[in-house]
Structure 1
Amino acid sequence: MTSKSHSEFDRTEFVSAILDWLDGHEAATDSVDEALELLANSRRRRLLEVIRTYNESLTLADAAEEVAVRETGRPVPELSAELVANVYISLYHDHLPRLVDADLLEYEQERDLVAPAAIPSDER
């Protein structure tokens, strides 16, 4: 068995923390399953991280560029236009609609803007 350093992600602790959180909250099984399914994809998680980091509207093109930076670990000047375009296309056609349908993000197609969804004050 390989030992892990403290800086490595501990999957067991993470799962335990989620289960502990679920024990303290009433959540429908379907809602939990849908949330975990949304978060299962790393590109969706990165898009949510980007929007959360900026906490304001971004063009989808800018968000795609930032997602590509986070996926590759390379700065913008080192990214190919093709890579960023591929990220943009997958966000536009697959990931963004799922996150919008789940009320996690808002998208204004006319201006190509992505924004954090407004969370009603009673749900905070």
Structure 2
Amino acid sequence: MTSTPNSDLDVIEFVQQLLDRLDEDDVSAEAMTDAFSLLADRRRRLLLEVMRTYGEELTLPDAAEEVAIRETGHTVTDIPAERVTEVYLSLYHDHLPRLVDAGLLEYDQERDLVAPDAV
């Protein structure tokens, strides 16, 4: 038997638990595919994590800073402004619309505020 690192076991356990849960909840294949597609991108997962951590509305620039911090592992003062701008633009144009369309986040464009969905 080959040795499996702990992180691999964590992944295996997570997937097994997820599959068990999906069997119990009778989730459609389409819903499962859509959910995995939304969560496939690390930046979307980080944005959802940021919004869950704060649990309230944030400006999109603040959310972008938090995502950049989590991506790099550095403090915001150690992250080039261009990197934060790149994160902001990718959130605004790509990731945020997908999460809003899925009903996971809300976005007020006039005020540039992102909020966790009330559901």
Q: Which amino acid aligns with 1:71?
A: E
Tell me what 2:53 maps to.
53
Which structure 1 residue ranges, 4+ long, deviate > 3 Å from structure 2? none
Shift of 1:14: 1.5
% identical aligned pairs: 59
Distance 1:3 1:32 in 2: 27
Tell me what 1:83 maps to.
83
State yes or no: 1:113 paired with 2:117: no
Q: Which amino acid aligns with 1:68?
A: A
1:24 aligned counterpart, secondary structure: helix
Distance 2:76 2:103 in 1: 29
Q: Which amino acid aligns with 1:88?
A: Y
Distance 1:89 1:2 in 2: 42
**TM-score scaled to structure 1, two decimals?**
0.90
Q: Which amino acid aligns with 1:61?
A: P
Tell me what 1:69 maps to.
69
Higher helix proportion: 2
Q: RMSD between aligned alpha carbons?
A: 1.2
Tell me what 1:14 maps to.
14
The superposition leaves residues 78-107 of structure 1 with CA deviations (integer Å, 9 ceiling, x where unpaired) of 011000000000000000000000000000
In structure 2, relative to structure 1, the CA distance for the partners of 1:115 and 1:19 (3 Å cut) is: same
1:107 aligned counterpart, secondary structure: strand
| Unmatched runs of 5 consecutive residues or more in structure 1 | 120-124
Shift of 1:2: 5.6
